[in-house]
Amino acid sequence: MNKVTTEEDIRNILNQMGEKALTAALALALLSPEAKNKCLLRMADALENAAQEIKTANQQDLAAGRKKGLSPALLDRLELTDSRIKAMADGLRAVAELDDPVGRKLSSTVRPNGLRIDKVSVPLGVIGIIFESRPNVTADAAGLCLKAGNAVILRGGSEAINSNLALAHCLNRAGVIAGLPDGAVQLVPVTDRRAVNLLVKMDQYIDLIIPRGGEGLIRAVVEQATIPVIKHYKGVCHLYVDADADLEMALRVTENGKCQRPGVCNALETLLINEKIADKFIPPFVECMRRNQVELRGDEAFCQRVPDAKFATEEDFYTEYIDLIFSVKIVPDAAAAVKHINHYGSHHSDAIITENPETAAFFLRGVDSATVYHNASTRFTDGYEFGMGAEIGISTDKLHARGPMGLAELTSYKYLIYGNGQIRT
């Protein structure tokens, strides 16, 4: 399959996949919750039963990766062990346990002419997932898409092609045995980059593209796509320590937001300190950051108080470090904090620490972000922490889904209208 060279060849392969996915999606939309859950459990078992087969395919990817000189960290992300395969299987079992997101009555109204209009959740149809390296995405994303009644076309990174093909094949086969139509789970077998550019224009088959990866990948998909894309750009998250903050709480939440897991999108990148409490808050804050080996980059007012801090450039305040680096700015009030966040932030997750309810309300209303916190860590922006039971990503878009995306965000709706012969006059 990797020998494919002409664009026409790739297009033909993708069209065949699209047709199969569309047929599968129409059938999936009609399945009962029980039938979908049976499929998910069957798939979980199939992954464990095929562990040897999957690991053999994975060994090919690992060998190619070593030859290509992939870093140990990347090789580790690529590797599939028995425990990781079990984790994927358990993930599918957990998804089976969740409430079914399809068929919920979202609203029901009766019009003066007697028509009853029910708005009911339905699957989106066919979802395309474009992702990098980690092969576990194949099972995780397929499980969530299926639970919401969608067919899925996956496109993983070339480093993991054999692992991904083995996983997708195993899942699709188990689905067919459990009664799903062939094509509910498919993986693009072509590693050629042109496949992505063609895939994201196949709006006759695919209803939604979700790219999972770095900003470069997402941007490239958006540039090419004619299919709607839900984007998960960077998380430049802020904490604002207000004049009326409980400073012990502020320090605890700051440390959690910056240091507990700095490499994730809901970690803090910028701290905004109200100037009225700056002199009191900064010494313990600096001490805490030193203890955590965090590099501080401050504005002028901060650097005056902390001479060994680096000077933050304008660019710093736009930057998602996803590292132990922290930009810091001293602001006169909550309004200045809100203005900074709306300008430099990425509309992801931002927090205020204050005991003043009016200031909190002003901040929560003014900050234009998917999640805005009062007296809590931005690290909670996560589908599981939000009680969604699962997460396919965190949207930085405002359309369709904003913030953590769970199963409900993988559905659309339709209107069912019941009459007794009404006509329009």
- Least Cβ distance, residue 394 to its own copies (angstroms): 11
Assigned token pair, 347: 């509309």
Q: Per-residue b/e over 269-306, b at no fewer than 16 CB within 10 Å?
A: bbbbbbeebbeebbeebbebbeeeebebbbbeebbebb
Residue 229: DSSP 8-state: B
- Least Cβ distance, residue 134 to its own copies (angstroms): 22
Cβ closest to its own copies, residue 79 vs residue 397? 397
Q: Rounded to 10 degrees, what is the CA torsion of 165, 171, 172, 175?
A: 180
- Least Cβ distance, residue 424 to its own copies (angstroms): 4
Place of tokens 């007012």: 301
- Least Cβ distance, residue 206 to its own copies (angstroms): 11
Cβ closest to its own copies, residue 212 vs residue 379? 379
Place of tokens 């899942």: 171
- Identify the helix (H) or strand (E) that includes residue 296: strand 295-298
- Least Cβ distance, residue 343 to its own copies (angstroms): 9
Cβ closest to its own copies, residue 35 vs residue 115? 115
Cβ closest to its own copies, residue 191 vs residue 254? 254
- Least Cβ distance, residue 210 to its own copies (angstroms): 11
Cβ closest to its own copies, residue 212 vs residue 402? 402
Q: Return the ∠ at Cα 306 (arms to 303 and 312), rounded to 5°.
A: 35
Return the bridge partners of 240, or none. Answer: 272, 352
Cβ closest to its own copies, residue 272 vs residue 394? 394
Provide the binding-site residues for its own copies, judged by CB under 8 A.
26, 29-30, 109, 111, 115, 117, 122, 124-125, 203, 207-208, 222-223, 226, 228-230, 246, 249, 252-253, 255-257, 260, 342, 364-366, 368-377, 379-380, 385-387, 397-400, 402-403, 412-425
Closest residue by Cα to residue 391 from 369, 409, 373: 409
372 phi/psi in degrees, rounded to 5: -130, 125
Find out whether 71 and 118 touch, Cβ atoms under 8 Å. no
Q: Rounded to 10 degrees, what is the CA torsion of 68, 73, 78, 79?
A: 110
Q: How far apart are the first and last CA of the chain?
A: 58
Cβ closest to its own copies, residue 37 vs residue 254? 254
- Least Cβ distance, residue 8 to its own copies (angstroms): 21
Contacts of 397 (CB under 8 A, 6+ apart): 230, 231
Cβ closest to its own copies, residue 29 vs residue 217? 29
d(CA 400, CA 313): 35
**133 HSE (CA, 13 A, CB side):** 13
Q: What's the length of the chain?
A: 425
Assigned token pair, 94: 């957990």
d(CA 136, CA 156): 10
Return the bridge partners of 120, or none. Answer: 105, 414
- Least Cβ distance, residue 219 to its own copies (angstroms): 9
Cβ closest to its own copies, residue 260 vs residue 304? 260
Assigned token pair, 399: 């359309």
Assigned token pair, 179: 């009664």
d(CA 377, CA 257): 6
Cβ closest to its own copies, residue 65 vs residue 257? 257
Strands 393-395 and 295-298 come out as unpaired
- Least Cβ distance, residue 87 to its own copies (angstroms): 20
Cβ closest to its own copies, residue 288 vs residue 376? 376
- Least Cβ distance, residue 68 to its own copies (angstroms): 32
- Least Cβ distance, residue 307 to its own copies (angstroms): 30
